[in-house]
Amino acid sequence: MRRAALLGLGLAVAPAAAVAPAACQKDLDAPLDPVELDRPFFDCRVQPVLTRSCAALACHGDPGRYFKLFARNRLRITGDETQRNVFMRPEERAHNYNAARAFVDRAAPERSLLLTKPLEQAAGGSFHVGATLYRAGNVFAGTDDPDYQVLAQWLAGATEAPTCQEPGSTL
């Protein structure tokens, strides 16, 4: 409704900034700094897990998904079928790294969506539409899954030698 119409109904309209406390407004306007996590560990250990477990074209390799991932033989930046199997580009790797960091809870890394979404609810995970939609269960049945452990280690601050390369890539 237009402001004049609301006023005509006898409803007071206050600007949102006047209603919200100044501290809250400041927090809403400030960009969040991404969580700093080890990039070589991501490239060498996390990227392969995400490629294997999450980047399928029907899942997070779909360009329409909020959390989308690039991978060889999957979603690519170019969209050119002749380039689908080339080595991953630096901008694709950077996108995946930043996309994964966006799903990290800086206050409680163990509660991060990067860990809880692909984990079965019975094991402490949260609802994941893919597990329900395809009725195949979630990506990780439990926290003892080796790939889950890789993600948990990264969020806990694990590091890797800067010279490490993702298996099968030419970083």
**Could you give the dihedral angle defined by the CA atoms of residues 163, 165, 170 and 171, in that order, rounded to the nearest 10 degrees?**
-60
Cα separation, 107 vs 95, in Å, equals 23
Full pLDDT tens readout for the chain, 171 residues: 444 444 444 444 444 444 444 444 445 454 456 678 999 999 999 999 999 988 888 888 888 888 999 998 888 988 788 888 888 889 999 999 999 999 999 899 999 999 998 998 889 888 777 666 655 668 888 999 999 999 999 999 999 988 887 766 654
Number of domains into which the chain is organized? 2
The secondary structure of residue 44, as a DSSP letter, is I
- Tell me if 127 is assigned to some domain: yes
- Tell me if 82 is assigned to some domain: yes
- Tell me if 23 is assigned to some domain: yes
- Tell me if 142 is assigned to some domain: yes
Q: Which letter, b or e, does each residue of 149-165 get, where b requires 16 or more Cβ atoms within 10 Å of its Cβ?
A: ebbbbbbeebebeeeee
- Tell me if 165 is assigned to some domain: no
Both 57 and 129 in one domain: the answer is yes
Cα separation, 124 vs 32, in Å, equals 27
Both 45 and 23 in one domain: the answer is no
Q: Report residue 35 as tokens.
A: 């969580």
Q: What pTM was computed for the model?
A: 0.75
Cβ atoms of 87 and 169 within 8 Å: the answer is yes
Cα separation, 74 vs 125, in Å, equals 26
